[in-house]
Amino acid sequence: MLEGILIGITTALTLQNLIFVMIGCLVGTFIGMLPGLGPMSAIALMIPIAISFEPSTGIILMAAVYYGAIFGGSTSSILINAPGVASTVATSFDGYPIARSGRAGKALAIAAYSSFSGGVIGAILLLVAAPSLAAVSLSFHSTDYFALMVLGLTAVAAFAGKGQVLKALLMTVFGLMLSTVGTDQTQGVQRFTFGMLDLLDGISFLLLAMATFALSEALLGVLRPKSDEDRRREMDAQRNIGSMALSTSEVKEIVPVIGRSSILGFLIGVLPGAGATIASFLAYGTEQRIAGQKKGAEFGKGSIRGLAAPESANNAAATGSFVPLLTLGIPGSGTTAIMLGAFISYGIQPGPRLYIDQPEIFWSVIISMWIGNIILLVLNLPLIPYIARILAIPGRFLLPLIFFFSLIGVYFVSFNTFDIHMMVIFAVGAVFLRLLGFPMAPMILGYILGGMMEENLRRALLINNDSWAFLWERPLTLGILIAAAAALVVPAVWPWISRMLGRRREDAGEGG
Amino acid sequence: MLTKDRIGGLLLLLFCSAYLYLSYGIRMLPFQKTHAFNAQTMPEALGFLGIGLSLAILVFSGKSEKLDLRGYNWGVGAWMIGLTIFYGFTIRSLGFIPSTTIFLMTGYIVLGERNPLILILASVPLVVAFWLLMTQALDIYVAPWPNPQSWLGFLWGIGSA
């Protein structure tokens, strides 16, 4: 492991890579700060540029954009109560009230320190967890991979939220369907191409990601213009930042919160489908309960604990979501699904072999997480008052630019104008589905895993002489499939179980 | 009641039904059809799964919000979509610099900017700088100006018709 860390340090600490980590953090912060554009859009926008570099540099750049975007999202949550992404919604609960009380600088500093600590603690845990899991997963067969992918897809349902389970599952199936467009890799058969040459290679992952995230977000921005009140609020927020210094008592108060939330966030992040949003809400709720009656009552009104908890948890979860990606080649979230697409564009297949075959990439990604977090703290914190001015750029300039960068990002990879028109179709479809409340992340997860799932299932059948018995004969496969079934069934029956338990407790209370 | 969930479920039900129908049209050679898992297996399974889930949404969606399409700038949205389609048609024939400048300027105008000086300053330098960055720094070449050959070919095509 020590040797691997040294390889990672040597790769990540080259001048070129350091510069790209810096650029990535800045660009990520910049994009993440724009309301609506989150890490997924930020990474998608960077892919065309990143793939023109060598793999380790490109991946490091995208990882840096990822942390930067999460950090940027927190800034817009705090300053204008407009979370860029779902994972920073909990940040706005207390961050915005602190900023409104004239202490925006303090709120931003707490967010920065918490993000930094969450990211660093997450990276330490990743350093330990990833190689161990990679070593174990070397014994995995294609049947187990198929089962793991099913688990990854069904886990989306477990964390989809109340009333969203069926919609998340349907969107996953929709993504799987899109992955079948093009030439079938094994039999060389055309599927859903309608005789069009442009569809022979299938729908490009980059096109789908850009259209459903960046372009549809810009289109929604055009459809829902900001009110004058919102504009005034943004201008005020970026003018009055205030002091960024923290007192000793404040530091003492948030340190244990950060420690607890980081570990919790990392563990949640490792679970497929859970991600930073669940982690931030869970950390917020946990800290509110731990804080006691007096401090707990401050949550939602400007509590520094309520700001530190989700901030450290979402960053640690972002790091944790790299564990299944790097060790199993299975993305745990929409963002890591896009990262997986980028890995595949390089011809790199993340998974247990990555740790052995390309240790410089495996370790440099992990090491770059530390460097990225340090740079975010050292470089971004003093620059925040200036970067925040981006919030003052009028939408009439910003939106056409987002349109342009999304379109050109795809066009510069394929040089095919058909892709631009296909993007419009997907973006319009995504806008309608989003207006109807259908989530996009499960779709991209389904799309990314679809091809791999089909390939692994086909290989498993081939090895097992076309017999489906491997699904129940191999204990590991069966175990993972049972976990997948549980991920589907438990959220559906949980309200019923908790109601039953509650009734039994009431009966016991009456009896006693 | 036609709620958001039900409308979405209905749209996806139509999509999944069309997908399943088309999956039966996947053409394979006779020996490929005999495989336990062929090019049609996954699409067929997904089609049924999608239809099942869409129907479940239609049946179990409960009291979700009603769709309210008022208050959106549909006209401006349609303009931007039209502009994007136009950009797709012109990026190659007009060249990167003119087509992108037109795209950005029109986009700013559609979204409410009217000052000609600002329109030029917010588009031309950015487009030229971006083109230079791509071609000089990142080695990604894209033709900056219209390609006379493609235009001649286009005009020749019209003439001979």
The reply to whether A187 touches chain B by the CB within 8 Å rule is yes
Specify whether B144 is located in the same domain as B86: yes
Residue-wise over A318-328: b if at least 16 C-beta within 10 A, else e? bbbbbbbbbbb
Each residue's pLDDT tens digit, A167-176:
989 999 999 9
CA torsion sign for B86, B87, B93, B99 is positive
Mean pLDDT over each residue of chain B, to the nearest integer: 88
Is A54 in contact with A360 (CB distance < 8 Å)?
no
Beta bridge partners of A190: A183
What are the pLDDT digits (tens) for A110-120?
A: 988 898 899 88
How many whole angstroms separate alpha carbon B22 and alpha carbon B19? 5
Q: Write out chain A residues lying below 8 Å of B80, CB-based.
A: 219, 222, 399-400, 403
Interface test with A, best of B87, B101, B121 (most A CBs within 10 A): B87
Distance CA B51, CA A411 (A): 34
pTM: 0.77
**pLDDT reported for residue B37:** 85
Residue B54 is assigned to a structural domain of this protein: yes
**Average of per-residue pLDDT across A271-296:** 77
In angstroms, rounded to a whole number, what is the distance separating the alpha carbons of residues A423 and A209?
9
Contact between chains at A417 and B73 (C-beta distance less than 8 A): no
Cβ-Cβ contacts under 8 Å between A and B: the total is 164
Contact B4 A224 (CB under 8 A): no
Residue B23 structural domain: 4-60
State whether B88 and B10 are in the same domain.
Answer: no
Tokens of A186: 């094994």
Contact B88/A417, CB-based, under 8 Å? yes
Query: What letter represents residue A228's amino acid?
Result: D
Q: Does A396 touch chain B (CB under 8 A)?
A: yes
ipTM of the complex, rounded to two decimals: 0.91
Which range has the top average pLDDT, A131-140, A187-196, A348-357?
A187-196
Do residues A166 and B56 make contact, with C-beta atoms less than 8 angstroms apart? yes
- pLDDT value of residue B44: 95
Give the residue from A274, A242, A287 showing the smallest Cα distance to A91.
A287
Instruction: Check CB contact under 8 Å for A177 and B134.
Output: no
Higher pLDDT, B129 or A51: B129
Are B11 and A177 an interchain contact pair (Cβ–Cβ within 8 Å)? Answer: no
Residue of chain A minimizing CA distance to B119: A397
Kindly list the domain boundaries of chain A, sorted by start residue. Answer: 2-511
Residues B151, B80 share a domain: yes
Above 80 in pLDDT, residue B135? yes
Q: Taking residues A302-314, report their average pLDDT.
A: 90
In a domain, B55, yes or no: yes
CB atoms within 10 A of CB A421: 15
Residues B82 and A450 sit within 8 Å (Cβ to Cβ): no
pLDDT digit string, tens, across residues A370-408 = 888 888 888 767 777 776 676 677 888 888 988 998 888
Residues of B in contact with A173 (CB under 8 A): 16, 46, 49-50, 53
Distance CA A25, CA A281 (A): 25
With a cut of 50, say whether residue A276 has pLDDT above it. Answer: yes
Test the A interface: residue of B84, B102, B140, B147 with most A CBs within 10 Å:
B84
Q: Does the distance separating the beta carbons of B8 and A191 come in below 8 Å?
A: no
Q: Which amino acid, one-letter code, is at A437? A: G
Chain B residues within 8 A of A154 when measuring between CB atoms: none
Q: Which of B53, B84, B126 sits opposite A420 (nearest CB)?
A: B84
Instruction: Region of B71 please: left (phi>0), alpha (psi -120 to 50) or beta.
Output: left
Of B32, B50, B92, the CB nearest to A170: B50
Q: Per-residue b/e over A428-437, b at no fewer than 16 CB within 10 Å?
A: bbbbebbbbb
Domain membership flag for residue B78: yes
- To the nearest 5 percent, what fractions of chain A are helix, strand and coil? 80, 0, 20
Same domain, B54 and B83: no
> Which of A351-355, A421-425, A431-435, B130-134 is least confident?
A351-355
Give the mean model confidence (pLDDT) for residues A272-286: 75
More confident residue, B8 or A88: B8
pLDDT in tens, A2-11: 777 788 788 7
Q: Do B108 and A412 touch (CB under 8 A)?
A: no
Phi-psi region of A227 (alpha: psi -120 to 50; beta: other; left: phi over 0): beta
Total tally of structural domains belonging to chain B:
2
Residue of B nearest to A460 (CA): B37
Surface of A (462-501) touching B: CB under 8 A: 466
Q: Are residues B152 and B95 in the same domain?
A: yes
pLDDT: is A427 or A449 the higher one?
A: A427
Strand partners, A191: A182
Q: Compute the distance between CA of residue A330 and CA of residue A353 in angstroms, rounded to an integer.
A: 13
Residue B84 inside a domain? The answer is yes
d(CA A473, CA B30): 31
pLDDT averaged over chain A? 82
Q: How far is the alpha carbon of A210 from chain B, nearest alpha carbon, in Å?
A: 14
Average pLDDT over residues B29-47: 88
**pLDDT tier for residue B110 given thresholds of 50, 70 and 90:** very high
Residue A251 has pLDDT above 70, yes or no: yes
pLDDT tens-digit readout, B24-35: 999 888 888 888
At A512 the pLDDT is 40
Nearest to A403 among B11, B15, B80 (CB): B80
Q: B49 and B85, same structural domain?
A: no
- How is residue B1 annotated by DSSP? -
User: A167, A181, A215: best mutation site toward chain B, by most B Cβ within 10 Å?
Assistant: A167
Q: Are residues B142 and B79 in the same domain?
A: yes
Q: Do A174 and B140 touch (CB under 8 A)?
A: no
Is there a single domain that holds both residue B149 and residue B95? Answer: yes
Mutate to test the interface with B, among A52, A184, A418 (most CBs of B within 10 A): A184
B79 and B151 share one domain: yes
Same domain for B42 and B94, yes or no, is no
Note whether residue B67 is domain-resident. no
